[in-house]
Structure 1
Amino acid sequence: MPDVQRPTVRDLLDLHRDRDPLVLAVIELGPHAIATSTLDDWESVATVVRTGDRYPAAIAWRAGYTLYHLGHTERAEHFFENADRDELDDAERAQFCAAWASSAWGSGDAERSEALGLEAFEAAERCGDDSALTWAWESRAMLASIHGEPRENLHAHQRALDHALAARDDLMESRIRNNLGSVLFDQARYAESLEQFEHALRLANGVGHLSSIALIRHNVADVMLNLGRIDEALVEVEAARAIWAGLESPMVGAAWQLLADIQRARGNAAQAAMAYREAVTVAEESDDTQTLVPALTGSALIQVATDPAGAEQTARRLLSLPSAVGLLPGNLTVGWVVLAAGDAEAAAAYAKEALAEASQRHARAWLAEALELSALSTSDNREAQLREAATIWSEIGNPIRLQVNRIVQAHLFGSPFTEQLARSGLRSLGVQEDAYGIAGPLHAISPRTGDHPVHVHVLGTFVLSLHGRPVTSSEWPSRKARDILKVLAGRGSRGIRREALADLLWPDDADPGSKLSVALSQLRRVLDPDKAYGTEHFVHTDRVSVRLDMANVSVDVADFVVAAQESLSAARTGDADAIGMLEAAAAMHTGEFLEEDLAEDWPAEMRDEVETLGNEVIRVLAFALQDGPEPERAVPWLARLLTYDPFDESIYAALMRVLSTAGRHGEARRHHHAYVLRMREIGVPSMSWEDMAA
């Protein structure tokens, strides 16, 4: 726990109202000044120490680095740019320049970052101070990352760590270990990166640096995602988001971005799209390119199903933005998007560029994805490239991407039976059916038409598919025609009375009968553009009611309700196939009923019914696995329950017991810490670690 006896910057403001004593007191506070201060604290300090529009450099770099770490990039740059640097000795100069280099890099100014990094290193070498050399070597590691030099990057981090240990600077050691973890993560060395992150988290907890704690937990979530532990990743990123939100930090945009990535991996397209929008908004407001690049990447991949032209426009924007991994995100994203649009030749060209850069950077996960894009863009060497990608996914331990690769290989080279087995394996990892509608390897293989030419998707984003092809928004002649289909999809075979349907759509119109007839005709034209079927084939109407013909139209919510009820019945009777049935039903629950219409009243009853049923499926599955021969299989499902209700004490207790029994004590401790924070939010006393793990 942090040392509560040490003063904070806010305490120093109460003690020192004059410039020079306050500056000296902040310097003497050391790393604690950065760890415990907020934007308001530094703005208050600024009013005391400012001379005209200039600040003492010793205050400016500490304020600037704190605010950079909190995501307040513009205010950070203000402090750096208005600092009196002439008064600095070499040790302080090195730290000033290195801190500013970090802020410049975060805002995408690589040229300034490089110049400052070099100045920091020269000053640190002149003075030989361990703290200065810590900052300088860490700045050199950043420069190596900018230039795509992974070996030099790792070497510089290690030298920085040596000096941080010599200086006994826990805050910088935490930062370096977090950065080392990120380097190992980029090399797909996930187990090693997780060790560094957990060490960094212990140090950050010790000094009480909340923004570091949030950042590290965010990075842990990224590791969990790449290890296929989707629901555990959601718990970690939600914890990070809660901390950043409490600090009023723009870094909350990074949490939104990773939350969206996790939802995209799970196949929750609607929730992913919403989170990406939040991330892009925050990143653009705070000039945060590190968040903006992956947020735009995910947005483009999600957009493919409903707005192909918009998806390509978003993807091409990536090619003009700076990124820690160069043009890799842009080339791969544009490649998948143009492949979805049918331009395999262009996709192959982008794949070639991505392969070259991924190889240069030793970025194995990016390399595997580039191999898959190349294989699906051209028939040349296709099988060998997919197998090489599968080997990489297997070696780095990413089970979701490995299973996706198996589905693609089974589809292209295997039998329908092996493909079905592979699809079942993906469902067992918690990936839902919407994943097939997102640009990428699954989207690139032939669409699955099923038994019906018309499929209506209402769990999450509303999508109508005809013979496996999503109908774009421009193909709808009116919004009312779309709304009729949404209402009918929710009603299933029951249908709805004509008067009730008209009142829903035109509540202020005294006689909407003719408008309803026009909208129904428009809907029929969308469902059967070639007029291959009779008028009543998809939509049945009479003088009293309107309904879909469920023999000719498939609706995801209807399929889910049947699957959930049958799987829960199997669980109650002890059926040997119950676990598999519950996993399949869980995969079909791809989001809330009509998530884009949350402001409307009419879907509320159906939405509540579906959410209750979905939650019950997950809970029964989680506890069935916990009581079975492999209790660790319950972990992701217990974690998913926490994403539904982060204040459920019984779920925390069950999760911690399973993890402790499996020897995963660090993870169990992390969940206990999250539990304590959640209970504190609602003013409820928390149980001790010993009681919870018992």
Structure 2
Amino acid sequence: MLDADYRFLAAAATEGDCQDSSSDFGRRAEATDLEAEFAPPDPDLVAQTPESPDELARVLYGCVNYLAQAAEQISLVLDSVCASGGEAASDPPRRPPRPDRERARPAWPSRAMRPERAGRECARPGPGPGPEPGAADSSAPVVFRTLGTFCVEVDGHPVAASQWRSKKSRDLVKLLLARPGRPIPREEVMNVLWPGEPARELGSRLSVVLSTTRSVLAGGRRCTGPSPLGADRDVVTLDLGVAESDVVSFLEDADRALGSHRRGHSALDELAGAQLRYRGDFLECEPYADWAMPLREHARAQYINVLHALVRQAARARQPVLAIDYALRLLQCDAYDEQAHLWLFRLLRTCGRHGEARRAHANYLTRMREIGVEPAVAAS
């Protein structure tokens, strides 16, 4: 059973990005190289005297990786014994293959998964907010945080609600952030801020809002540098060359990481960094604003693409537990994502977590029935 699961995960790890999955995705694929990924180190290789530091590191990594896999299986057996009241379970998890039975040579891991990075890469991505990505090293005097809770920071300090002095100033900033780098006609801005009111009476109001917003973004002091907020007789703009927007940073990081992934490179570091930047949907505080919807949907779609790539990259890097975490995050975004369901089921079974795998399979069948999709044969 486990060998078949390895073959399934190998196909998932090596396939390209699939934006439009076919109806028979997940059916059994031919084996590629995942069995070798989890195999013990070659005794002949270990016995040889390494000729270089790189060769020594390669040998040591293979040994350490195999021992880690064995330790995980031992932990599963101990959990099974404890759960059964001190007696070994009737169907304990399968232990790793013996070196004399499996001679597959371990593949050299990606740069992202080398031992010096293991502490950071193997950390379980918890659901909590964690440290603010980019907060410590941001050199921009003004930072706009729009993913999740809306917040504006000036010189590293959050702007309090009382400092805005006008809700319209906050709304103006949100509107401009929804169209990063693009000028918006003054008339359109006035229609959003004061819907239904005649434009001829709103010019002076907009001027007051612009002045208030500039003062807030300057930290309440006389501004000596360029303000991110610009306006002329025709348009209003937000210059992100002198400010930072977290949604723009996320999209840039995601584009770079997905590009590396699609070219077949190891991109676990880049993808994980982009994933950490996404702390929630764009402007969650404005769920019904039509002007916020396009960027919100675009950012969310890219986040899902990043998670799909992370599952494949984690499986390729022989980290099934990490891949499980990302598959679960995918299902939090979309409970009907068939790829995520199949990955989760296979990964859990590969790790010997058969009870969780059964529940995941039952949930998959339920979700597919709800939308009238025939379950894939590979999940049976």
TM-score interval, normalised by the smaller of the two chains: 0.5 to 0.7
1:429 correspondence with 2:124: yes
Amino acid at match of 2:161: S
The alpha-carbon distance between structure 1 residues 495 and 465, as it changes in their structure 2 partners (threshold 3 A), is same
Q: Which whole-Å CA distance do the structure 1 matches of 2:313 and 2:223 have between them? A: 46
Structure with bigger RCO (C-alpha 8 Å, 6+ apart) = 2
The answer as to whether partners of 1:432 and 1:589 remain within 8 angstroms in 2 is no
How many angstroms apart in 2 are the aligned matches of 1:535 and 1:500?
A: 28
- 1:295-349 deviations in Å (ceiling 9; x for gaps): xxxxxxxxxxxxxxxxxxxxxxxxxxxxxxxxxxxxxxxxxxxxxxxxxxxxxxx
Partner AA of 2:325 in structure 1: P
Q: Which residue number in structure 1 is paired with residue 35 of structure 2?
A: none
Task: Output the CA distance in 2 between the equivalents of 1:532 and 1:197.
Answer: 67
Deviations 1:595-620 (A, max 9, x none): 11101111111111111111111111
Q: Which moved more, 1:478-487 or 1:500-509?
A: 500-509
Instruction: Output the amino acid matched with 2:379.
Output: M
- Displacement after TM superposition at 1:193 (Å): 12
Q: Deviations over 1:68-98 (max 9, x none)?
A: xxxxxxxxxxxxxxxxxxxxxxxxxxxxxxx
Superposed, which structure 2 residues align to 1:149-168 within 5 Å? Answer: none
3-state DSSP of counterpart to 2:258: helix
Q: Provide TM-score, normalisation by structure 2.
A: 0.63
Residues 685 and 491 (structure 1), Cα distance of their counterparts in 2 relative to 1, 3 Å cut: closer
What is the CA–CA distance in structure 1 between the aligned matches of 2:344 and 2:182, rounded to whole Å? 41
> C-alpha distance in 2, partners of 1:634/1:433?
18
1:570 is matched with which residue? 260
1:636 matched to 2:291? The reply is no
Paired with 1:601 and 1:197, the residues of 2 have a C-alpha distance of: 54
Task: Return the letter of the residue paired with 1:557.
Answer: V
**Distance in 1 between the 2:203 and 2:246 partners?**
29
TM-score, normalising length from structure 1? 0.36
Counterparts of 1:546 and 1:426, CA distance in 2: 43
> Could you tell which deviates more after superposition, 486-495 or 623-632?
623-632
SS at match of 1:552: coil
Map of 2:164 onto structure 1: 476
Distance in 1 between the 2:76 and 2:304 partners?
31
**CA displacement at 1:513 relative to structure 2:** 1.4
Question: Is the 1:463–1:471 contact (alpha carbons within 8 Å) kept by the matching residues of 2?
Answer: yes
- Could you list the per-position Cα deviations for residues 612-669 of structure 1 after superposition, in whole angstroms to 9, with x for gaps in the alignment? 1111111112122223433443111111111122123332222221222222222212
The alignment partner of 1:543 has SS state of coil
Structure 2 counterpart of 1:263? none
Counting only pairs closer than 5 Å after superposition, residues 431-446 of structure 1 correspond to structure 2 as: 434-436=129-131
Secondary structure of 1:436's counterpart equals coil
Equivalent residue for 1:550, pick from 240, 254, 260: 240
Q: Distance in 1 between matches of 2:253 and 2:369?
A: 38
The yes-or-no answer on 1:465 pairing with 2:160 is: no
Q: Relative to 1, partners in 2 of residues 1:198 and 1:513: Cα closer, same or farther, differing over 3 Å?
A: farther
Asked if residue 603 in structure 1 is aligned to residue 298 in structure 2, the reply is no
Distance in 1, Cα, partners of 2:82 & 2:187: 60
Q: Distance in 2 between matches of 1:193 and 1:601?
A: 54
Report the residue type matching 1:474 in the other structure. S
Distance 1:432 1:488, change over 3 A: farther
In 1, are the aligned partners of 2:181 and 2:237 still within 8 Å (CA)? yes
Tell me the equivalent position of 1:520.
Answer: 210
- Using a 3 Å threshold, how does the CA distance of structure 1 residues 530 and 686 change in structure 2: closer, same or farther? closer
Compute the displacement of 1:514 (Å). Answer: 1.2
Which of 510, 525, 537 pairs up with 2:227?
537
The Cα of 1:687 is off from its aligned counterpart by 6.3
- 2:184 aligns with 496
CA distance in 2: counterparts of 1:473 and 1:627, whole angstroms: 46
Contact between 2:124 and 2:322, CA under 8 Å: does it hold in 1?
no
Return the alpha-carbon distance in structure 2 between the equivalents of residues 548 and 428 of structure 1. Answer: 37
- Please report how far the alpha carbon of residue 468 of structure 1 lies from its aligned counterpart in structure 2 after TM superposition: 2.2
Equivalent residue for 1:508?
Answer: 196
**Distance (Å, rounded) in 2 between the aligned partners of 1:193 and 1:481:** 59
Residue 652 (structure 1) aligned with residue 341 (structure 2): yes
Instruction: Answer yes or no: is the 8 Å Cα contact 1:460–1:591 preserved in 2.
Output: yes
- Aligned to 2:192, what secondary structure does the other structure show? helix
Q: Determine helix, strand or coil for the equivalent of 1:435.
A: coil
Aligned partner of 1:12 in structure 2 is none
Q: Equivalents in 2 of 1:590, 1:676: separation in Å?
A: 30
Change beyond 3 A, Cα 1:458–1:569: same
| Alignment-derived partner of residue 268 in structure 2 | 579
State the alpha-carbon separation in 2 of the partners of residues 436 and 501 from structure 1: 34
1:666 maps to 355
Tell me if 1:692 matches 2:379. Answer: yes
Bigger Rg, structure 1 or 2: 1
Q: Using a 3 Å threshold, how does the CA distance of structure 1 residues 657 and 513 change in structure 2: closer, same or farther?
A: same
Matches within 5 A, 1:46-445: 425=120, 429-430=124-125, 434-436=129-131
3-state SS, counterpart of residue 603 of structure 1: helix
How far apart are the structure 1 equivalents of 2:176 and 2:333?
28
Unaligned runs of 5+ in 1: 1-189, 200-420
Mark the CA change 1:572 to 1:639 in structure 2 (over 3 Å): closer, same or farther.
same
- Tell me which amino acid in the other structure corresponds to 1:505: L
What is the DSSP-based 3-state SS (H/G/I as helix, E as strand, rest coil) of the residue aligned with 2:294?
Answer: helix
Alignment partner of 1:425: what SS?
A: helix
Q: Structure 2: 5+ residue runs without aligned partners?
A: 1-74, 85-115
- Which of the pair is proportionally richer in helix? 1
Task: Quote the offset at 1:684 in angstroms.
Answer: 5.2
